[in-house]
Amino acid sequence: MKVLVTGATGRVGANVVKKLADRGVAVRAMVTPGTRRLSKLERLTGVEVAEADLRDQVAINRACDGVTHVVHLAALMVLDNVSVEDFHDVNVLGTVRLLEGVLGSGGRIERFVLASTDSTYRPADPPKTPLTEDLAQNPADYYGTSKLMSEIVLQNRAHQFDIPYSVLRFGTVLSPEESPEIYRLSFLRGWLKTQQNQGRRSTLWPLFRDQPQLTAVFDDAVGNAPADAAVALTGPEGQWTLSVVDVRDAAEAVWKALTQRGALGRAFNIAAAEPVGSLTGASVVAHAFDVPWHVVRLPLTWRLEIDICAARRWIGYRPMYSYADMVRTAAANPTEARDFVKTDEGSASMLSRLSGG
């Protein structure tokens, strides 16, 4: 078993590489040329690094040579300064190129695992709660659309060339050390502003459509509260809820998708055992860090919850970490995490986390 992992220095990717290396599996970590995040992989043994841009077919072909399994995690989540054409070139055509690299390598690929997202279900306006895999995928944004297109490309190539495959649709993936931030005043204020400033380029634009006052409502409610205060968001239909997943559980789901026969030809939602309610999340953060907490009532309620029954049934996925577990790990402030790789991706990446996937 030799596994190619794309996006190997990312939030999920580095933890997948760690899990595979810890199990003694040969790993080829595909990284962006010139990346500054290679330090995340330095302490892992038996890991081969391959530099390849998802727009470079020749480099991708080299990366695919001799591997038996592929985990495709690399993708752009937000447009930022990237054009729409370049965004889809990386996310969609990058998947095409990777499959071409696999098919041209001459070996037999035993499993191709594609990371997808709850954004394919239109998370800003979910058709039901919780979301299940049998729902029609109808994204209304660039990221969700690119991931759905990648799923379709994979399914078509898999049927055409007999590639064993599986798809994992992740909820909001968090690393323990960053988990408290999603219920901090400073983060939520920045997140609301970012979503509104992005307009229809935001993954969640249908949620914020015709709601120009949200940031002002938020600021009025929190007043002069400290930036590190915990904040819960509620609305007319109750507290906001969100399906999150710890990076350790995300990596375990990838392992299951690589090795379990029940994964073949199926897509699975991946999240923690239960969604986290905003009131619960803010309370957990407040008590863990001894900070005040506030409840902000907004004129809308958002509930993004995904069902993981299929993953439980078909691949034996059993998430171990709740949101409270993540926060407790963060509060313990381990100088060196032993069972996960810290994300080290900064606030800009965090602001995109609640946008699905």
CB–CB of 311/166 below 8 Å? no
Grade residue 346 by pLDDT with cuts at 50, 70 and 90: low
Grade residue 354 by pLDDT with cuts at 50, 70 and 90: low
Residue 168 and residue 267: Cα distance in Å, rounded?
6
Answer CATH for 176-242+274-305+322-353 from 3.40.190.170, 3.90.25.60, 3.40.50.720, 3.40.50.11540: 3.90.25.60
Residue 87 and residue 145: Cα distance in Å, rounded?
11
HEC profile of 58-108? HHHHHHHCCCCEEEECCCCCCCCCCCHHHHHHHHCHHHHHHHHHHHHCCCC
- Domains of the chain, residue spans: 2-174+245-270, 176-242+274-305+322-353
CB–CB of 249/321 below 8 Å? yes
Residue 114 and residue 93: Cα distance in Å, rounded?
14
Mean pLDDT on 72-86: 93
Position with higher pLDDT, 352 vs 241: 241
220-230 tens-digit pLDDT: 999 999 999 99
Per DSSP, the three-state class of 162 is coil
Residue 356 has pLDDT above 70, yes or no: no
Residue 355 has pLDDT above 60, yes or no: no
7-18 tens-digit pLDDT: 999 999 999 999
Phi/psi at 298 (nearest 5 deg)?
-105, 165
Mean pLDDT on 133-142: 95
Mean pLDDT on 164-190: 97
Per DSSP, the three-state class of 310 is helix
CB–CB of 331/289 below 8 Å? yes
Residue 297 and residue 311: Cα distance in Å, rounded?
34
DSSP bridge partners of 114? 72, 167
32-53 tens-digit pLDDT: 999 999 999 988 988 999 999 9
Residue among 172, 319, 315, 318 nearest 257 (CA): 315
Residue 334 has pLDDT above 80, yes or no: no
Phi/psi at 141 (nearest 5 deg)?
-150, 170
288 half-sphere exposure, CB direction, 13 A CA radius: 25
Residue 344 has pLDDT above 70, yes or no: yes
- Look up residue 46 and give its amino acid: G
Q: What percent of the chain has pLDDT over 90?
A: 86
Residue 288 has pLDDT above 80, yes or no: yes
Answer CATH for 2-174+245-270 from 3.30.420.40, 3.30.160.270, 3.40.50.720, 3.40.50.11890: 3.40.50.720
Residue entry with tokens 């990366």: 63
Mean pLDDT on 137-149: 96
pTM greater than 0.75 (yes/no): yes
- Look up residue 55 and give its amino acid: R
Mean pLDDT on 188-199: 92
